[in-house]
Amino acid sequence: MKGVHFLAGFVFLALAASFASASDPSPLQDFCVAINEPKNGVFVNGKFCKDPKLATANDFFFSGLNIPRNTSNPVGSVVTSANVAQIPGLNTLGISLVRIDYAPYGGLNPPHTHPRATEILTVLEGTLYVGFVTSNPDNRLISKVLNPGDVFVFPVGLIHFQFNVGKTKAVAIAALSSQNPGVITIANAVFGSNPPIRSDVLAKAFQVDKNIVDHLQKQLWGDSN
């Protein structure tokens, strides 16, 4: 009987280990250039892979992170991504990059999370107030004012933000530990979901009058950064 219990426990641990490793597999080849066409491709980590013999330098190349972006929008910031959607050679490699431009006097990359990536950010120009909030029950704000050359880390999955507190534009570059980190902007998700979350649900969750929720849900919640 003990042998049966041991065998059952061993099988359970083996299955658990296999599921854990399956969530973020290590590449089994040098690279896996993503393609949209499944013809002659192998499906790996959300993308079909091009035949490695057909890979070119352009599969690993992106140009344009040096170009300032127009921050004339309601939040005053623009994120320019260099992930697997722009660089197909990033597929399975677990890394990506973004440039973030912030308008003077309050350009904001609003509170958001990356469900699949830790982020490390460095300021190139300007002064940013940045921070993240720890998980329940503490919900502790960890924040700092950054200047050019300063680096700050936002742990995977935690709500974080950047806010330009300077009188001039600000620019930052951030690396993320996924080729497709994903982004959930909190206000957009809560008040701009499709279909909308019931206003009485949000009124109770935020402990505010239902009319306030109705007003927020009527705002134009466009694509998030």
Q: Which residues are annotated as a binding site?
A: 109, 112, 114, 119, 160
Is the distance from CB of 23 to CB of 178 less than 8 angstroms? no
Question: Environment class of residue 133 by beta-carbon count within 10 Å: exposed (0-12), middle (13-18) or buried (19+)?
Answer: middle
Residues annotated in the binding site for oxalate, as ranges? 109, 114, 119
Q: Which two tokens stand for residue 74?
A: 């309601």
Interacting residues of 182 by C-beta distance below 8 A, sequence separation 6+: 114, 115, 116, 117
- Which segments are annotated as binding site for Mn(2+)? 112, 114, 119, 160
CA 42 → CA 32, 34, 59, 75, 87, distances in Å?
9, 10, 17, 40, 18
